[in-house]
A = this chain, B = another copy of it.
Amino acid sequence: MKKSVLFSDFTIVTSHDDGKATISEHSYCAVHDGKIEYVGSSKEDAVKILTNLCGGSFEEYDGKNRILAPTFANAHAHTPMSIFRNIADDLALQDWLFGQIIPREDRMIAEDFEYGHLLTLAEMIESGTACAANMYDGARITTKASVDAGFRVQQTIMGKKCEDGKWSVDRDDVVDFQAFLKETGSALITPSLLVHSVYLYPGDFYVPLAELAKEFNLPVSVHISETLVENENCLKDYGCTPVEKLDASGLLNEHTVAAHCVHLTAKDRSILANRKVWVAHNPSSNMKLASGFADMPEMQKDGVRLCIGTDGAASNNNQDMFMEMRLASFMAKGTKLDPTVLNASDVFHMATRNGYLACGFEDCGLIEEGMRADLQIIDYDCPQMWPLGNALSALVYSCGPKCVESVMIDGQFVLYRHELTTIDMEKVTYFTRKTMERLK
């Protein structure tokens, strides 16, 4: 249920479209019908606006020792994969993927998609995330679950099929999914076309996929240059880098979200910048699977648009954007031997505003009047964040899931004072345990 709320006397931390974050103490934010109607220092003005809109029947949320911040948008996830959490670690990528993960994926049934997805949404909400790009099969099941949970998702659709080893585009799948989306009546879901990578399909299949995306005005979700092996094979097969191959196929544009991008050439970076592709950085996953260190400071310099993702829970092994934001900054500083690069403001912007834009939500990710009300409340009256110091630094370098008190998505509290309100965790726990036992 959408609530009218006056967030009263908070420290408001938000980024802005110039990429710079601001910190405003003793500030007020009025939310009505899912929209931010007022942000500023006057309680009187905020109350007046809310009273006009809803006749005074609003909740006042007290901001003592609290930060109000935009929620995170996780730009690269595989949400149902939480059912594979902590079952296959410290393994080489090939052993992990082909020995452990894919054999289990082959045995998944509908309820595994549904409850794995909901388990991930619960974890995301508890760690301040309100939006995720979900690159996975099972679009209808997980979309319905997302809508019921009140969670924003950019959901991939397959739009292709493989019969007798031959891939072809599946226009019906796209048409059906868009009709299905319309039926839900929800503005929380945006679709995108799953184009897994340069190594999964035959070389002549990328142009038809690009044409399909263009016909239906679909964004494209793709993995690029996650490993050196991918690059080497691409060079062997196509005589160019994965970025070049995808660009030549017409798959790179301002709606494309490219995950990983660990091993890029200067020319690759220039193509990604020119095409305005969103690069979703996955620091934990890239380190854990030993893929390497994506050079975010260099991409930043070259004007590539950057956001952050967690990757799936089978390769991370959690879905905590605080961790990823912090690690994105640390990794950049450590690899560049420069503590000033990818500062708190940079990574906060990547994890909030840019994530939302990458997922196709233009009016989310900032605490500004007119934006949708996707908000998190951080309780900093705890040993981990005290004394607060600089509130932006505190969010990026000290905060974690333990400090997230409430989360609002589109005006609805999905976490209210540490209680999930839209997801029945007992049911999710029950079904995901069953799944785990069956897929052992």
Q: How many copies does the complex hold?
A: 2
**Binary interface profile of A, 314-354, with partner B (CB < 8 Å = 1, else 0)?**
00111110010001011101101111100110000000000
**Binary interface profile of A, 99-135, with partner B (CB < 8 Å = 1, else 0)?**
0000000000000000000011011001100000000
A398 with B333: CB separation less than 8 A:
no
The interface-forming segment of A26-34, A170-178, A273-281, A287-295 is A287-295
Q: Does A376 contact B (CB under 8 A)?
A: no
Bound complex: CA A394 to CA B316 (Å): 11
Output the least CB separation between A21 and chain B (Å).
12
A89 and B290 contact, Cβ closer than 8 Å, known pairs A383-B122, A393-B317: no
A339 with B90: CB separation less than 8 A:
yes
A384 and B318 contact, Cβ closer than 8 Å, known pairs A87-B390, A393-B89, A394-B86: yes
Q: Does A93 contact B (CB under 8 A)?
A: yes
Q: Helix, strand, loop or mixed for chain A's interface? A: helix
Bound complex: CA A157 to CA B271 (Å): 58
Chain B residues with CB under 8 Å of A92's CB are 338-340
Chain B residues with CB under 8 Å of A382's CB are 126
A337 and B292 contact, Cβ closer than 8 Å, known pairs A85-B389, A87-B389, A320-B400: yes
A86 and B123 contact, Cβ closer than 8 Å, known pairs A290-B336, A290-B338: no
A288 with B401: CB separation less than 8 A:
no
- Chain A residues bordering chain B, tally (CB within 8 A): 73
Chain B residues with CB under 8 Å of A387's CB are 82-83, 85, 432-433, 435-436
Bound complex: CA A316 to CA B330 (Å): 10
Chain B residues with CB under 8 Å of A390's CB are 86-87, 89
Among A291, A293, A384, A425, residue most surrounded by chain B Cβ atoms (within 10 Å): A384
Bound complex: CA A211 to CA B115 (Å): 64
Q: Which of B93, B123, B344, B391 contacts A384 (CB 8 A)?
A: B123
B89 with A381: CB separation less than 8 A:
no
Q: A87-B393, A89-B343 are in contact. List 7 more A-B contacts (CB 8 A).
A: A287-B330, A288-B334, A317-B394, A320-B400, A383-B425, A384-B401, A387-B436
